[in-house]
Structure 1
């Protein structure tokens, strides 16, 4: 997995559990790459390292100190600590054994507001699971944009490729659920579903998806001359106004938006 070092040395993306991957961060304990779909670490493999913004950092490191990571009793970390129990740093919150900042990724994709080391408002894609009056953010089902619970039946809004039906997000093209045939992205307003983007080889026409010309991937109408991109391995022939597999001998492939057969 790629590693990026952001502002103030905060790790932006990493869950490393094999030696030699990166010298700036430690190793995650086995089966503990569980945060945000396995991208970040919940518990470190090496005693004396704790998850800060999802990566394993030594307890004496300035990043750990800034987070205010403490043990579950609220005391200073011992030399064998491998996860956090409290986060006292400003704008930090506790999440799955680590301290995360709402100012940086990945913390800002989980929580939008933190008070006294706890998240008080979950970001879109997460829902609040209140335990002992403290908000814990848990991930929505992947089909949901926002939700009230972790199942596919608890969506409040959907990703752009789906629409809401009785708290479930159905694919825009799901005709069994009143979807629009060949629709890739859609919008729902006042109970009315509208297609905004059609699947490849289709274009929007009067709210529906109509077929492009033969071998055309994207177009503005069904007319061959309105093809904007041909399908893979095809080029647009200016003479015949069609997508062809091979340009004529007098022409060559000119690589542009629709890879045109251009005069030599």
Structure 2
């Protein structure tokens, strides 16, 4: 039974965050191929196919300055033929080319809990706050995003993490890896596998050693 539960946890971890092609029919028509971000089963556009359409809360919308004024070019000018937002203002924040609401508004609630003047100040679990966040730089970075933003990056295979200690490193500090057979090292910048061949789940011991947990 515990093995079955562990496999479910593993599957959930693997599909929580991933870059994906657009799969829904309305998304295929609106989204540039391969420019979707899947978060907890919800597909978010990161670039729209048609000029003058921009990602707002994960969907491509025809730019209207009266409705979507939070989305601007990075220099603060209005959208004309652009297909992404370069800046977000007000109660929205920038994430991978789109503007997202904060708090309880879905799907922005998958990324950010609180915003202030175009910057997310409290990212949800699975993300960390970008120390270089601004209206023109993503506030929240996935814990497993090794491309990163403004030089700050996540950790391959990481599920939960803390923001980097920017005075010493630009890498997030992972505290939970996606795979139950992996654990972070003492610095939190790497997820590595338990040393024991028959281990399906492990927990840390002193000096970063690991112990296999029985399936009994």
- Distance of 1:55 and 1:16 partners within structure 2: 14
- Distance of 2:133 and 2:201 partners within structure 1: 40
Which has more strand, going by share of residues? 1
Residue 50 of structure 1 deviates from its aligned partner by: 0.6
- The one of 157, 166, 169 equivalent to 2:175 is 157
- Distance of 1:107 and 1:164 partners within structure 2: 28
The answer to which structure, 1 or 2, has the higher relative contact order (CA under 8 A, 6+ apart) is 2
- The one of 3, 28, 32 equivalent to 2:31 is 28
- SS of residue matched to 2:47: coil
TM-score, normalising length: structure 1:
0.49
8 Å CA contact retained: 2:31, 2:47: yes
The number of equivalent residue pairs is: 172
Q: CA RMSD in A?
A: 4.2
- The one of 123, 143, 151 equivalent to 2:157 is 143
- Distance of 1:65 and 1:82 partners within structure 2: 16
**Pairs within 5 Å for 1:79-90:** 80-90=81-91
Residue deviations 1:34-88 (CA, integer Å, cap 9, x gap)? 5769943222110121101222122249xx926722333334433x232223323
- SS of residue matched to 1:82: coil
TM-score, normalising length: structure 2:
0.58
- The one of 174, 189, 192 equivalent to 1:170 is 192
- Are residues 33 and 132 of structure 1, via their aligned partners in 2, closer, same or farther at CA, if it must alter by over 3 Å? closer
- Are residues 66 and 188 of structure 1, via their aligned partners in 2, closer, same or farther at CA, if it must alter by over 3 Å? farther
8 Å CA contact retained: 1:84, 1:98: yes
**Pairs within 5 Å for 1:88-167:** 88-90=89-91, 92-102=92-102, 103-131=104-132, 136-141=139-144, 142-144=156-158, 145-148=160-163, 154-159=172-177, 161=180, 162-166=182-186, 167=188
Q: Which residue of 2 aligns with 1:6?
A: none
Unpaired stretches in structure 2, ≥5 consecutive residues: 1-18, 145-155
Residue deviations 1:192-242 (CA, integer Å, cap 9, x gap)? 96767x5xxx31xxxxxxxxxxxxxxxxxxxxxxxxxxxxxxxxxxxxxxx
- Distance of 2:62 and 2:20 partners within structure 1: 15
- Distance of 1:55 and 1:32 partners within structure 2: 12
- Distance of 1:87 and 1:81 partners within structure 2: 14
**Pairs within 5 Å for 1:17-96:** 21-22=25-26, 27-33=30-36, 39-60=43-64, 65=67, 68-78=70-80, 80-90=81-91, 92-96=92-96
Q: Which has the larger radius of gyration?
A: 1
